[in-house]
């Protein structure tokens, strides 16, 4: 199966999982009934399984949204119980669903390509310890943050290093090629740049440049035309969406998950061609949200006042 063919199923699984979480939040908050919450749970499980089968690292990507969902979902469920909205017979099952998904994802098989091999060998001390990582570069552990968080940053460093290996350096659409991560501080410091690249690249200065091939040059023009339409939806539509739906919990969850996934790919993928493909489903979701906000606002303005 080619990478592009995999993308179709991967995006279907990932976006299906996000939709399942969002449905559960929405229907719990609205008190629409447990049947619709269970439908969201089924969609969540199916989407997670599909994405994980296509690309094993999907389980690791979805772990953070799963934990965030549990933190948002359970307090809302408690409020519903206190207000007599939720059906008491289903509370235990719904809570179990919210809690068991992060546990399963944490225990799921991992993509060995981004696992530290060997693992951090030096014991954690008060001073940062320097250890070898798979990519052959030194990683400086940070004693002030939890070890699982530090190792997650290490996985990002390993994944990025793979894209900057000799086989990728000849690609014509590399960006920030010399940027590497050697500690958690390096990863955090790169976050603003990753957000900029993830949401806005390719930048206007790159739309009309010569690619490594004629096909690459054509794709830069196509990407430029697409970004010309996306920029207003992100820069105008998203702020409008925040203004309209800032009290909507599921809006923040869905938008936050999309931004998280886009930034994660931007952190590890210095090749714009690959990044353009891998972020597409999440960027289009944000763009569609911006479009919905603009369109809804225009409709309201055109509606005759009573």
Q: Tens digit of pLDDT for each residue in 219-261?
A: 888 889 999 999 999 999 999 999 999 999 899 999 999 999 9
Q: For residue 87, what are the contacts with CB-CB under 8 A and spacing of at least 6?
A: 33, 34
pLDDT at 187: 95
Least confident of 76-90, 93-107, 118-132, 223-237: 118-132
Calculate the alpha carbon distances from 65 to 20, 102, 259 in Å.
Answer: 12, 9, 11
Contacts of 279 (CB under 8 A, 6+ apart): 198, 261, 262, 265, 266
Neighbours of 13 (CB within 10 A): 22
Confidence of residue 303 (pLDDT cuts 50, 70, 90): confident
Burial class (CB in 10 A: 0-12, 13-18, 19+), 284: middle
Residue 231 Cα distances to 51, 87, 165, angstroms: 28, 44, 32
pLDDT at 117 (0 to 100): 55
Residue 115's pLDDT is 67
d(CA 15, CA 273): 21
Q: For 187-199, what is each residue's pLDDT tens digit?
A: 999 999 999 999 9
Domain-by-domain residue ranges, the chain? 1-110, 131-306
- pTM, 2 dp: 0.88
């Amino acid at each position: 199966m080619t990478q592009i063919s995999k993308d179709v199923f991967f995006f279907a699984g990932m976006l299906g999982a996000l939709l399942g979480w969002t449905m559960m939040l929405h229907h719990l908050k609205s008190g629409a009934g447990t049947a619709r919450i269970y439908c969201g749970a089924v969609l969540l499980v199916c989407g997670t399984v599909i994405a994980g089968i296509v690309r094993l690292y999907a389980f690791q990507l979805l772990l953070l949204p799963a934990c965030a969902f549990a933190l948002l979902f359970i307090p809302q469920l408690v409020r519903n119980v206190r207000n007599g909205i939720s059906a008491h017979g289903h509370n235990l099952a719904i809570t179990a669903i919210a809690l068991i998904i992060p546990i399963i994802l944490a225990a799921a098989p991992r993509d060995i390509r981004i696992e530290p091999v060997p693992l951090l060998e030096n014991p954690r001390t008060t001073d940062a310890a320097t250890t070898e990582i798979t990519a052959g570069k030194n990683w400086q552990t940070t004693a002030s943050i939890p070890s699982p968080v530090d190792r997650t940053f290490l996985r990002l460093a390993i994944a990025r290093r793979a894209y900057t290996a000799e086989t990728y350096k000849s690609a014509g659409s590399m960006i920030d090629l010399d940027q590497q991560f050697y500690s958690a501080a390096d990863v955090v410091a790169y976050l603003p740049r990753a957000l900029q690249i993830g949401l806005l690249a390719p930048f206007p200065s790159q739309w009309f440049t010569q690619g490594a091939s004629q096909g690459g040059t054509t794709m830069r023009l196509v990407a430029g035309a697409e970004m010309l339409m996306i920029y207003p939806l992100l820069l105008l539509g998203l702020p409008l969406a925040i203004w309209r739906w800032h009290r909507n919990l599921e809006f923040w969850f869905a938008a936050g998950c999309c931004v998280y996934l886009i930034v994660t790919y931007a952190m590890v993928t210095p090749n714009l061609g690959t990044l353009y493909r891998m972020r597409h489903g999440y960027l289009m979701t944000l763009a569609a949200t911006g479009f919905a906000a603009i369109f809804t606002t225009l409709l309201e303005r055109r509606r005759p006042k009573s």
